[in-house]
Structure 1
């Protein structure tokens, strides 16, 4: 028996106006076979009352085996016979099937508990409300449209590299945002190479620096968006390839201002040097342990861009002298928090010393730096609304 498409089946129940007289078909068949009704039901091992309830739609939970046996006896396609049986069912039974379909959709695609904690779902909502929230957020009218237009294009080129529903949600959200923004500027690698060396001084402007840099990147065909970090995903950023252009998404992972800049440079390295790999998969998450070498090169690129090891060796003797650190940061055209952040990393990497709780007073609020870029929040009504706001920001003249 072929797989039953419940979504399609439920649509057909309400759209199909054709009439199929099962009782008449049954009478024709027992006449053709030379059987009485009693004998036929005995051979089928179906009680007379059960048979009548199935045909009349009175059976509260029709036995699937009985339904299949009757369909075979009548020489009717099982899918068509099930449709007929369902069409005769009372509204409560139809609603319960529809609810089961929606529940399957939610459980297969979303970590409802985690997303409720994040504020995406409302704890008071029922299944219908949860499904509607998900469809509205991604901009689709039905479960079928969601599955056909969002999932397949995203995962069709390669095997999915994870089964984590929260990562799945994060990826889908970013993917749909980039599709809706649809950067009209062609990707210009040479101009990107010219922009990157000019980026450091903008780290000093906490309020406007990222905003200015991301607009410049947009103009050379590289779209950068910010999504709120999702608990348990451990993803600080990713690079996508959509509509023949590179796209970068960054989170507020660790809630640290230096991490935003480090992640941006990390992803720009992927754009410059790993675009063919990303093209083959549609996207690359920057926590991918299977691509360790690519990740380490991108990390080194970002680290050396802001604070190569020789700078660490110089400043480590003065790290507790805020005046010296501030002057050193100014000489290197970067924000002081980046000095402290990379100092912390080098101490842990080279000497196993943990300074992660130190220098907090020198780290600005990362929310300030991404505010003008309208970061995507899980409490937003829809990706389209968020994407429209982002696009306006990037295309302001």
Structure 2
């Protein structure tokens, strides 16, 4: 017994099984091992049966008795307990397979957000890893509480059907993308100043304005990310905070520059005027005091009220008048058209709609 033996099994077994094999090899009884280790016969028996854990102290004692490294016993015990925990976790997940149907898994795998797995348990694990939670009970604690809290964090009318799970996926992807943006510490003054520069990007194509927009906001400490709309989420934009950093998420849901830029400045209004504790989600028919205030902020920054009233008084809503006015206030003509339609000065079906730029999703 003077030479220490090396045990390197390529499979995981309960420590007690290996211990029992050694007892047979050395023709030693459990009672004798108890005497040699200073442990009780009951404890030795429970270790062999897997009822008691093999502690590091016991591992050292077995090393002295059998010449087998304590590290081996510790690893055997650790691996065994991990295996039991995994089996228990798999059993719990197996009872939650139906959760997969609630999430836009195919959309997520098609877009590379998670790996596609044939095995449902592995697919569930992929989904949990995406959300950064250990179980669906934990998911409910984090996401359902967030999206359904009474402080208007998830404001949608009762008539407006949207999937909570799909919205959660969209928000989570926005959070993940925002982590990759290097931002300065949030500075409210710099952010306000950056909005004047950003406004002038409204007539550009996404390939031009997206990098400029994200860079300008990052300098002021705001992360802006574009995440494609997830199925049945029906959300066009969101504002949330990650610690001290505000995040704006945009979806290109309505695909025209008047909607996109109004949504961006609307979200900027939430950052500048409202609570950091609330996640604001934008839907077509959101109406409450927070949304109204953000709407006014966006309208006024895109087209200054004094200039707009002067333009309205002239009652000339021709193409030439609109494009000239847009140049004066440094905004895209399509944004002016959208504002006039919203306020009822021109109809939605109009030949002037061609002044709006349509966006396609880009990578």
TM-score band w.r.t. shorter chain: 0.5 to 0.7
- State the shift of 1:179 in Å: 3.7
Asked if 2 retains the 8 angstrom alpha-carbon contact of 1:235 and 1:286, the reply is yes
Asked if 1 retains the 8 angstrom alpha-carbon contact of 2:143 and 2:168, the reply is no
Asked if 2 retains the 8 angstrom alpha-carbon contact of 1:178 and 1:242, the reply is no
CA distance in 2, matches of 1:290, 1:204: 26
Structure 1 residues 259-268 or 288-297, which shifts more?
288-297
SS at match of 2:343: helix
CA distance in 1, matches of 2:359, 2:328: 23
The structure 2 residue matched to 1:298, chosen from 273, 294, 298, is: 294
**1:358-389 alpha-carbon deviations (Å, 9 max, x no partner):** 5332222324xx85xx5xxxxxxxxxxxxxxx
CA distance in 2, matches of 1:311, 1:211: 34
Cα 1:271/1:288, change in 2 over 3 Å: farther
Asked if 2 retains the 8 angstrom alpha-carbon contact of 1:118 and 1:230, the reply is no
Cα 1:332/1:173, change in 2 over 3 Å: same
Residue ranges of structure 2 left out of the alignment (5+ in a row): 1-11, 18-79, 155-162
Asked if 2 retains the 8 angstrom alpha-carbon contact of 1:229 and 1:252, the reply is yes
Higher helix residue share: 1
**1:121-165 alpha-carbon deviations (Å, 9 max, x no partner):** 899955256436536756x6xx727976x7766677796466721
Cα 1:117/1:232, change in 2 over 3 Å: farther
- State the shift of 1:340 in Å: 1.2
Q: Following superposition of structure 1 onto structure 2, how do residues 260-299 of structure 1 map, counting pairs within 5 Å?
A: 260-274=260-274, 277-278=275-276, 280-281=277-278, 283-287=279-283, 292-299=288-295
- State the shift of 1:208 in Å: 2.1
Name which structure has the greater RCO, CA cutoff 8 Å, separation 6+. Answer: 1
- State the shift of 1:226 in Å: 0.6
The structure 2 residue matched to 1:365, chosen from 354, 358, 363, is: 358
The structure 1 residue matched to 2:316, chosen from 315, 318, 325, is: 318
- State the shift of 1:238 in Å: 0.8
SS at match of 2:280: strand
Kindly indicate whether residue 188 of structure 2 is the aligned counterpart of residue 189 of structure 1. yes
Aligned residues: 273
CA distance in 1, matches of 2:309, 2:14: 75
Q: TM-score, normalised by structure 1?
A: 0.56
Cα 1:156/1:98, change in 2 over 3 Å: closer
Match of 1:214 in 2: 214
The structure 1 residue matched to 2:120, chosen from 127, 149, 154, is: 127
Match of 2:100 in 1: 106
Name the Cα RMSD after superposition: 4.3
Q: TM-score, normalised by structure 2?
A: 0.60
- State the shift of 1:190 in Å: 1.4
Match of 2:340 in 1: 343
